[in-house]
Structure 1
Amino acid sequence: MIKVAIVGYGNLGRGVERSLKQNQDMELVGVFTRRAPENVATEGAQAFHMDELNNKRGEIDVCILCGGSATDLPVQTPEVTKYFNTVDSFDTHAKIPEHFSKVDQIAREHQSVSVISTGWDPGLFSLNRLYAQSILPQGGTYTFWGKGVSQGHSDAIRRIAGVVDATQYTIPNNEVIEKLKGGEKLELSTRDKHFRECYVVLEAGADEEAIRAEIVSMPNYFADYDTEVHFISMDELNRDHKAMPHGGTVLHTGTTHEATKQVIEYNLHLDSNPEFTASVLVAYARACVRLAKEKQFGAFTVLDIAPKYLSPIDDATLRKELL
Structure 2
Amino acid sequence: MRKLNVAVIGLGRLGRACARALIDEPEMTLAGVVRRPVSLRPMYGELAPFPAVDHVSDLPYVDIALVCVPTGNVLGVSRELLQARIPIVECARLEGHALATHYGELDDIARAHRTTAVVGAGWDPGVLPLFSHAFDMLIPRGRNLSHRHPGLSLHRSAAVAHIRGVKEALAGEFHSAGGALQHLVYVTLEQGADLAPVQAAICADPLFAGEATQVFQVEDLADIEAEEGQGLVIERRSTAASGKHASLLVEARFEHTAFAARVMLDAARTISSLPHGAHRYALRAP
Using the size of structure 1 for normalisation, the TM-score is: 0.59
Choose which of 247, 252, 272 in structure 2 pairs with 1:263: 247
CA distance, structure 1, for counterparts of residue 114 and residue 148 of structure 2: 36
- The superposition leaves residues 40-88 of structure 1 with CA deviations (integer Å, 9 ceiling, x where unpaired) of 546325233333x1354x721110111121x221322233222211111
Q: Which residue of 2 aligns with 1:285?
A: 268
SS in 2 for 1:18: helix
**Pairwise CA distance, 1:39:** 5.2
- Describe the shift of the 1:282–1:139 C-alpha distance in structure 2 as closer, same or farther (beyond 3 A): same
**Pairwise CA distance, 1:29:** 0.4
- The superposition leaves residues 213-257 of structure 1 with CA deviations (integer Å, 9 ceiling, x where unpaired) of xxxxxxxxxxxxxxxxxxxxxxxxxxxxxx961132332222498
- Describe the shift of the 1:47–1:297 C-alpha distance in structure 2 as closer, same or farther (beyond 3 A): same
Unaligned runs of 5+ in 1: 150-170, 180-242, 309-317, 319-323
Q: Which residue of 1 aligns with 2:24?
A: 22
- Describe the shift of the 1:250–1:50 C-alpha distance in structure 2 as closer, same or farther (beyond 3 A): farther
Aligned partners of 2:144 and 2:237 also within 8 Å: yes
Aligned partners of 2:123 and 2:260 also within 8 Å: yes
The structure having more radius of gyration, on CA atoms, is 2
CA distance, structure 1, for counterparts of residue 110 and residue 283 of structure 2: 20
CA distance, structure 1, for counterparts of residue 175 and residue 150 of structure 2: 6
CA distance, structure 2, for counterparts of residue 251 and residue 143 of structure 1: 6
Aligned partners of 1:87 and 1:118 also within 8 Å: yes
CA distance, structure 1, for counterparts of residue 145 and residue 239 of structure 2: 15
- Describe the shift of the 1:119–1:306 C-alpha distance in structure 2 as closer, same or farther (beyond 3 A): closer
Q: Which residue of 2 aligns with 1:300?
A: 279
**Pairwise CA distance, 1:269:** 0.8
CA distance, structure 2, for counterparts of residue 6 and residue 88 of structure 1: 11
- Describe the shift of the 1:23–1:39 C-alpha distance in structure 2 as closer, same or farther (beyond 3 A): closer
Taking the TM superposition and a 5 Å limit, the aligned residue runs for 1:158-237 are 173=176
Choose which of 135, 152, 162 in structure 2 pairs with 1:132: 135
- Describe the shift of the 1:119–1:247 C-alpha distance in structure 2 as closer, same or farther (beyond 3 A): farther
Alignment: residue pair count: 215
Q: Which residue of 2 aligns with 1:230?
A: none
Letter of the 2:279 counterpart: F
Q: Which residue of 1 aligns with 2:229?
A: 245
Greater fraction helix: 1
CA distance, structure 2, for counterparts of residue 98 and residue 55 of structure 1: 31
User: What is the root-mean-square deviation in Å for CA atoms of aligned residues?
Assistant: 2.8
**Aligned residues: percent identity?**
21
- Describe the shift of the 1:67–1:129 C-alpha distance in structure 2 as closer, same or farther (beyond 3 A): same
Aligned partners of 1:15 and 1:276 also within 8 Å: no
SS in 2 for 1:43: helix
